[in-house]
Amino acid sequence: MTIAVIVTMGVSLSLLGAGLLTAMQVDLAKSSLYDKVEISVFLCTEKTQGGRCEPGKGTTDAQREQIQQTLEANPEVSEVVYESKEAAFEEFQRVFADSPVVNSRTAEDMQDSFAVSLVNPENYEGVVSEAKGLQGVQNVQDLHTVLDPMFKWLGAAQWATITMSALLLLAGALQIANTIRMAAFTRRREIGIMRLVGASNIYILLPFLLESLVAGLIGIVIASGALTAGYWFVVEQGARTSITALPWIGWEHLATAIVAIAAVGIALAVIPTLLATRKYLRI
């Protein structure tokens, strides 16, 4: 039963640590990506359709000024930068320099636009809705339509991992309590004798507490080793070298997760032991 306790504690603490590291990675990536997200407000040309465009007409200077003033007046907007057709065409040529499509367009085919930076990138819906309603705006694009589903699924995976670890930790706590209860029951006569000769509760409890603590500490060591190995192979040797566009958790995050699972492991070793031996300490 002690071996079962150790294995259960090791697996459950490993899952808990993995869930914590996933949560840290999601928060780190979300902060980095959302800070770089801009809303692009594309204006009308004679060839564009849809949005708030008039057929065969481009955005007038008056409409362009009104759009910029409206965006700058929004309290959720931190900066508005205008990009002309010529600037858009230069960027198009740079991006598709090695592609045959580079000669398929001219500056007149491009759309001028506004790049809008937000105070809080997560509060983008109001700005997008307002921009879509302005006369002379053909389309509004933002990366949240791509990022939000991704972070939603990552968050779901994170909570699934933490939930599974919580269930396994509960199983580990019950196993520890049952193991200590059985040990105390088999030694109930010795405990009764110690109580009769005046032994303190701490003196009686200490062997059981040490037994559960040793099992818990071994489980913590197993979980810490598994987390360290997983971090080294998955993050350091894999993700960090292959996906350089994203920030990745570091050793300090791993240390935080290990400290957290150590605290949880010790609590799970001590609390069930105290609860399981209460009956026998009153003999």
CATH number of the domain that 49 lies in? Answer: 3.30.70.3040
Domain limits at 83?
Answer: 38-142
Last residue of a domain, one of 92, 121, 142: 142
**How many separate domains does the chain show?**
2
- Whether the pLDDT of residue 216 is over 50: the answer is yes
Indicate whether 122 and 153 sit together in one domain.
no
**Alpha helices, DSSP H only, in 78-143?**
85-95, 125-132
Q: Rounded mean pLDDT of 232-240?
A: 87
Question: Based on the domain organization, do 130 and 167 belong to the same domain?
Answer: no
Q: Are 189 and 280 in contact (CB under 8 A)?
A: no
Q: What is the DSSP string of 31-72?
A: HHHHHH-EEEEEEP-TT--STTPPTT----HHHHHHHHHHHH
Nearest to 228 by CA among 4, 21, 3: 21
Type of residue found at 131: A
Residues above pLDDT 90, as percent of the chain: 16
- In the chain the first and final C-alpha atoms are separated, in Å, by 26
- Amino acid 254: pLDDT: 93
Same domain, 28 and 46: no
135 and 202 within one domain = no
| pLDDT at residue 227 in the model | 92
Same domain, residue pair 263 and 158: yes
Out of 91, 108, 142, pick the residue that ends a domain. 142
Averaged over 12-37, what is the pLDDT? 80
> Do 268 and 158 share a domain, yes or no?
yes
Contact between 82 and 112 under an 8 Å Cβ cutoff? The reply is yes
Three-state secondary-structure class, residue 78:
strand
* Cβ pair 124, 142 in contact under 8 A: yes
Q: What is the pLDDT of residue 201?
A: 67
Asked if 119 and 65 sit in the same domain, the reply is: yes
Together in a domain, 152 and 189: yes
DSSP letter for 142, please. Answer: -
Task: Find all residues with CB under 8 Å of 40, minimum gap 6, and list them.
Answer: 113, 114, 115, 116, 140, 141, 142
Q: Residue 134: which of 210, 215, 203, 73 has the closest Cα?
A: 73
Same domain, 65 and 151: no
Q: What is the pLDDT of residue 73?
A: 92
Who wins on pLDDT, 10 or 218?
218
Mean pLDDT of 186-204: 70
Contact 254, 240 (CB under 8 A): no
Q: Is the per-residue pLDDT at 283 higher than 50?
A: no
Cβ(219)–Cβ(5) below 8 Å: yes
What is the H or E stretch that residue 23 is in? Answer: helix 2-36
| Angstrom distance (rounded) from CA 16 to CA 254 | 12
Residue type, 154: L
The pLDDT value given to residue 258: 94
* 118 phi, psi to nearest 5 deg: -110, 150
pLDDT at 225: 94
Predicted local distance difference test score (pLDDT) of residue 98: 73
Please state, in angstroms and rounded to a whole number, the distance separating the CA atoms of residues 115 and 81.
Answer: 5
Angle (CA) 204 206 207, round 5°: 90
**Residue where a domain terminates, one of 80, 113, 142:** 142
Tell me, what DSSP letter sits at residue 233? I
Based on the fold, state whether residues 151 and 260 are members of the same structural domain: yes
Whether residue 276 sits in one domain with residue 154: yes
Domain co-membership, 157 together with 274: yes
Contacts of 52 (CB under 8 A, 6+ apart): 44, 132, 133, 134, 135, 136, 137, 138
